[in-house]
Amino acid sequence: MKRALISVYDKTGIVAFAEKLDQLGWEIISTGGTKTLLEEAGIKVIAVEEVTNSPEILEGRVKTLHPHVHGGILFNRDIASHQATVDEMGIHAIDMVVNSLYPFEETVKNGVASKAEIIEKIDVGGPSMIRAAAKNYKDVLIVTATEDYERVADALENDQNTLELRESLAAKAFRLTAFYDAMIAEYFTAETNEQFPELFTKGYRYKELLRYGENPHQAAVYYESPLEEDFDLEQLHGKQISYNNYNDMRANMDLVQEFDEPVCVAVKHANPCGVAVGKTPAEAYQKAFEGDPISIFGGIIGFNRTVDAETADQLARIFLEIIVAPDFTEEAFAILSKKKNIRLVKSTKLGEFKGKKTTYKETVGGLLLQDKDLSIYGEDGIVLKSDRQVTDKELEDMDFAWKVAKHCASNAMVIAKDKQTLALGHGEVRRVWALEDALERSEFPLAGAVVASDGFFFPDTIDTLHEYGIKAIVQPGGSVQDEKVIEAAKAYDISVLFTGMRHFKH
């Protein structure tokens, strides 16, 4: 007679599945709460203790770790010596393992569990049984997900217990144990503050199939990282968020996070196209919009304050892909939700959460990991290097422009005034081209504006700035050309400030 060992933390659907196995003539072995539940449902159950001839010990930490369990799962039915061993030891074959693991991830994420409680939710016996059954999938069914109960029952009832089915279930089981171990490794790595461990393990869970990737001919899926603190995103309205939307939205939110004052950030193709600080979200949006009213069309708009009706009235006047904010008032939602295609995304942590401490991207043969660029200035802060003194207002504008430049693709130039971007140049292979692009495209008078550059200047950029009447620039410094730049700036009575920190973004 076939035997199934059932031991599940998540009891969803298990009674119906066990009843089906019982009807098909399977014997059922079980433990603890699962055994009690099945017996209460009138299903005959063999206790694990009857199989092992050994009681549970250590408050349930050891119950299935026994030769009569693992031997019954792992022995190869085609090897005569294996069969002889289990016969000699009186080990009965176990032909199916049904298991769900202790909720380690959920315990970590609930935010109130002690370290001792978290450690107690590290399953040992479960992964061992799962891996054993998955390794011996040619002879053993391994069922680890409630959504598979029906298809397994149907396969058994219709004599379709194929090798293909068992291999598929084994692959799913190995993904589960690998993911589970990755969650545990991620937790302990964070606890021990190991930033770049010798083995980098991360677990991601499928969330949704996207319409397509960067282009319509590319398939794409969104996976979430469960243990990473996130922005607590909730889509309130609109069609599905796309691959490019997710990418642009992250770029937007990273820049929004730089500001404490009410800010509006507009992003297009992962680059800012308008950024402004205002006394209210409505004022911030109007200034950001005026900075580039053409590029903002079809862009992604981010706020660090709740969107109110006044702001919503302005936002509703043009087509926008996404608006993301800590919240929307009822009036604002009513106004914006009339537009079918706009996505409204609530992020309760926007404006207070700085994101993960490391970032990574795929490269040739592997991944590149680095500290996230969270700092703004070097150890000495922002330092004046030329003769002309800057006003407090210029200093505020340079701080604003510097934060924006940090989030533009290199080479990047940001021209700003009154905490509003007047022109942006980014992604050029020559820094002076980025500057010329920004200057030539600006539709504002630039007298009194400041310029921020993500990298150091050369003397030719000073000449160009002088032609446009700009008197204050901020840059990292650190070039062999620094002295020449400073002397050129002195000759034009231009203020040059160094930040002591570069912010390339590639």
What is the pairing mode between strands 141-143 and 96-100?
Answer: parallel
3-state SS assignment for residue 25:
coil
Give 10-residue mean pLDDT values along the chain (506 residues). 92 95 94 91 89 68 73 86 81 92 92 90 91 95 96 93 95 96 93 89 92 93 84 89 93 94 95 96 97 94 97 96 96 95 90 72 88 88 91 95 93 94 88 84 87 83 84 90 88 92 86
Beta partners for residue 302, in sequence order = 265, 324
CA separation for the pair 170, 133 (Å, rounded): 8
Write the CB contacts of 460 (distance below 8 Å, at least 6 apart in sequence).
Answer: 432
For 382, the token pair is 């922002």
Of the candidates 82, 172, 202, 269, the residue annotated as catalytic is 269
Q: Please list the alpha-helical segments (H only) found in 241-391.
A: 243-256, 281-291, 309-315, 330-336
pLDDT value of position 64: 66
Q: Is 82 a catalytic residue?
A: no
Query: 141 and 17 in contact (C-beta within 8 Å)?
Result: no
CA-CA-CA-CA torsion sign (291, 296, 297, 303): negative
At the topology level, CATH places domain 236-347 in Cytidine Deaminase; domain 2 (3.40.140)
If phi over 0 gives left and psi between -120 and 50 gives alpha, with beta otherwise, what is residue 53?
left
Q: Which residue has the tokens 């030891």?
A: 89
Tell me how far CA of residue 356 lies from CA of 225, 260, 344, 506, in angstroms.
Answer: 11, 19, 24, 18
Exposed/middle/buried for 116, CB within 10 Å: 0-12, 13-18, 19+? exposed
Length of the chain: 506
pLDDT value of position 334: 96
* Shared fold status for 236-347 and 383-498: yes
Total Cβ atoms within 10 A of residue 138: 12
Q: Delimit the domains of the chain by residue range.
A: 3-192, 236-347, 383-498
Q: Which amino acid is at 341?
A: N
For 271, the token pair is 């680059």
Q: Is 11 a catalytic residue?
A: no
Of 308, 318, 319, 253, which Cα lies nearest the Cα of 281?
Answer: 308
CATH class of 383-498: alpha beta
Of the candidates 135, 172, 339, 484, the residue annotated as catalytic is 135
SS3 of 292-327: the string is: CCCCCCCCEEEECCCECHHHHHHHCCCCCCEEEECC
pLDDT value of position 60: 62
Half-sphere exposure of 93 (CA within 13 A, CB side): 16
Helix and strand numbers (H, E) in the chain are 18, 21
3-state SS assignment for residue 347:
strand
What would the DSSP string read from start to end of 179-219?
Answer: HHHHHHHHHHHHHTT-SS-SS-----EEEEE-S-SSSTTS-
Of 241, 239, 236, which Cα lies nearest the Cα of 222?
Answer: 241
Of 30, 157, 156, which Cα lies nearest the Cα of 97?
Answer: 30
Half-sphere exposure of 405 (CA within 13 A, CB side): 35
At the topology level, CATH places domain 3-192 in Rossmann fold (3.40.50)
Of 199, 200, 202, which Cα lies nearest the Cα of 179?
Answer: 202
CA separation for the pair 258, 115 (Å, rounded): 33
pLDDT value of position 228: 78
pLDDT value of position 353: 63
Cα of first residue to Cα of last residue in the chain, in angstroms, is 62
pLDDT value of position 55: 67
